[in-house]
Chain A
Amino acid sequence: MLYREAGQYKTSYQADQAVFPLLQDRVGLLVILFVAYVVIPLTGNDFLINAVMTPFLIFSLAAIGLNLLTGYTGLLSLGSGAFMGVGAYACYKLTTYFPDVNIIIWIVASGFVAALVGAIFGLPSLRIKGFYLAIATLAAQFFLEWSFTRVAWLYNHNVSGAIEVPQRTLFGVPITGPNATAETRYLIVLTIVVGMTWVASNIVHGRIGRMWMAVRDMDIAAELMGIRLLPTKLLAFAVSSFYCGVAGAMMVFLWYGGAESTVFSINQSFTILFMIIIGGLGSLLGAYLGAALIFVLPIVLRFVPPKLGIPVHAATVEHITFMIVGALIIFFLIVEPHGLARLWQIGKQKLRVWPFPY
């Protein structure tokens, strides 16, 4: 009734090729942006901003990165955690060598280092596919994680073996380090994530996105249509690793404030893979939904019952959280194997014809 395309006529192909052809979608997007930019920084407390929203956005960005590779190009990767690490360590090295250059520039630039490393580890993808490629990317995961521990140059020979984030400012306002406020860091993360999501959406809706999906759906036919497989796959690896790298750099510089190599372990890779499987492969929205379900839901489950005055022991809550999240994942996979993004689409379709069934 409210959500339908009736009366919205497209008079040009440009309008019809838009990412959000429907007015309602555009309004919804503006509302979300308004809430994210104005309502949350003004009304949210430190906990909401620092422990929920900032990491949620960072995980969403990493999930978008992996989704470009696995969901859009069909290449399964278990190295996303390591590529996040490449971004984090690259950013650390860059900002300690050149402390005067703005940290935001280095955060984005570290993505390029991750892209290069990702492209190198993507080389086997021409020959191997599916689970075997996943194992090949596992080599990247272990090798890089080993480097983060053993190559002392990467963490400037710190005795602790960890990287510590120095204070950096933007227009005199501290944005990294212990003195930066949660709001500032949140707004920077939000801006980077929004910008990169916009770019990702542009890429997947254009020629390159179609090439990726063509390779995913039928690589033989794609090649017979003039799509060169190796450059296309390597580009997917590079762009995907770029996103993961930026997410990793933000994770250390704008959230943790310091990290050891264990942050970028295989568990991180799996977490992100689960996010896109549950959120929806081949959907940018799915990356957000998956990150929300996997990362935010446990927090909600942990903190809402005490707020409601239900006295539960902390350890009990911890265990129950595991059980509920696990059950929900199974539930969603059975109800909709194509992820939450597909559920959302079905919901939209239903809304279109509501209140009638057809």
Chain B
Amino acid sequence: MRAPAAGDQAAREILLSMENVSLSFGGVNAISDVSFDIRKGEICAIIGPNGAGKTSMLNVINGFYTPRQGRITFKGVARAKMRPYEAAERGIARTFQNVALFRGMSALDNIMAGRTLKMKRGLLWQMLRYGPAMAEEVEHRRVAEEIIDFLHIKDIRKVQVGRLPYGLQKRVELGRALAMEPELLLLDEPMAGMNLEEKEDMSRFVLDVNQHFGTTIALIEHDMGVVMDLSDRVVVLDHGVKIADGTPDEVKSDRNVIDAYLGVAH
């Protein structure tokens, strides 16, 4: 359990703030009127039963969906509509529930692809692959190697990711997101389908990312043990409505949360 003092948390700067965000598909309200903040440097978990709107929430944050109404402020700048690549340029990275790696490329190339935004040399230099273009390539290879070191995937760096086992694919995907050096990292079920040992490894990586790089993390996870141990704060959604928001301890004893998960006696 790593719960910082409440006063400390309130003092932290707000990185992302969602105000009255609603999203609907046709007549179905995926998210209705949800507000919460993510503060700099914290690990914030978004939990809820299936179909609660968690993944939709992440899709709204990184611009994949445009909310019907509401205000999203990231790093102090409010935006109405944002394309996914703009979110990436502003420092939001994410991983996917079903691994969305570039299957035909090696693990190293996947991580190098995460550096795309940081690489500036244009087509002419790329055509020559010499001088500045090569220097840039080598410089980013060095960063990629640091990430490979960090995630202990040295032995698979040249393996095509489509051939890797699931757990390693998830790890490469985390590496690819880290390569973007994001300020806000969104993890969509990073431990889904893993065994206990893999979950422990992944939890360790998430904590290390948070502590070493100071990355703010928002994660969706179904394993409550993991959620309660990792996160500083938990936001609970149910049927697109926020029903609780607080430290893991507060949320655990919240009446609404227990009802949502266990059902209500009528």
Contact = CB atoms under 8 A, between A and B. Distances in A.
> Is the pairing of A and B real?
yes
Interface of A: 12-14, 16-17, 19, 199, 202-203, 205-208, 210-211, 213-214, 216-218, 220-229, 235, 282
B85 interface: yes
8 contacts: A17-B134, A210-B105, A213-B113, A220-B84, A223-B83, A225-B85, A226-B117, A228-B85
Shortest 8 CB-CB contacts between residues of A and residues of B: A226-B88, A202-B129, A217-B102, A226-B117, A221-B100, A13-B141, A210-B113, A223-B84
A213 B109 contact: yes
Contact of A207 (B84, B101, B119, B145): B119
Contacts of B145: 13
B142 A211 contact: no
A14 B176 CA distance: 21
Contacts of A207: 116, 119, 121, 126, 136-137
Interface in B131-183: 133-134, 136-138, 141-142, 145, 176, 180
B112 interface: yes
Given A202-B126, A225-B113, 4 more contacts: A13-B145, A16-B141, A210-B109, A225-B116
Contact of B105 (A199, A217, A228): A217
Given A13-B138, A211-B116, A218-B100, A225 B126 contact: no
Interface in B63-101: 64, 83-85, 87-89, 93-94, 96, 100-101
Interface centre among A213, A216, A225 (most CB of B within 10 A): A225
A111 to B, nearest CB: 13
B127 interface: yes
A86 to B, nearest CB: 20
B62 interface: yes
Contacts of A199: 127-128
B89 A226 contact: yes
B114 interface: yes
Contacts of A213: 102, 104-105, 109, 113
Nearest to A71: B104
B138 A17 contact: yes
B113 A214 contact: yes
B180 A205 contact: no
Contact of A214 (B87, B102, B119): B102
A206 B126 contact: yes
B123 interface: yes
A226 B87 CA distance: 8
A221 B101 contact: yes
B116 A210 contact: yes
B103 interface: yes
Given A207-B119, A213-B105, A224 B176 contact: no
Among A13, A203, A216, find the residue whose CB has the most chain B CB atoms closer than 10 A. Answer: A13
Q: Which among A205, A206, A217, A228 has the greatest number of chain B C-beta atoms within 10 A? A: A206
Nearest to B94: A224
B127 A203 contact: yes
Given A14-B134, A227-B116, A220 B180 contact: no
A17 B134 CA distance: 9
Nearest to B180: A225
A225 B114 contact: yes
A207 B136 CA distance: 10
A30 B142 CA distance: 30
Nearest to B130: A202
A325 B117 CA distance: 46
Contacts of B134: 14, 17
Nearest to B88: A226
A205 B129 contact: yes
A224 B84 contact: yes
Contacts of A19: 129
Given A224-B62, A225-B113, A282-B104, A206 B129 contact: yes
A214 B103 CA distance: 9
Nearest to B105: A213
Contacts of A206: 126, 129, 133, 137
B141 A17 contact: yes
A228 B85 CA distance: 6
Residue among B89, B93, B129 with the highest chain A CB neighbour number at 10 A: B129
Contacts of B119: 207
Contact of B102 (A13, A205, A221): A221
A18 B214 CA distance: 34
A119 to B, nearest CB: 13
Nearest to B126: A206
A218 B101 contact: yes
A208 B119 CA distance: 10
Given A203-B126, A218-B102, A226-B85, A14 B138 contact: yes
Contacts of B126: 202-203, 206-208
Nearest to B186: A224
Given A13-B142, A13-B145, A227-B85, A220 B117 contact: no
B88 A220 contact: no
B68 to A, nearest CB: 21
B138 A12 contact: yes
Contacts of B116: 207, 210-211, 214, 225-227
B96 A225 contact: no
Contacts of B84: 220, 223-224
Contacts of A222: 102, 113
Contact of A223 (B85, B93, B142): B85
B64 A224 contact: yes
A12 B135 CA distance: 12
A213 B105 CA distance: 7
A17 B105 contact: no
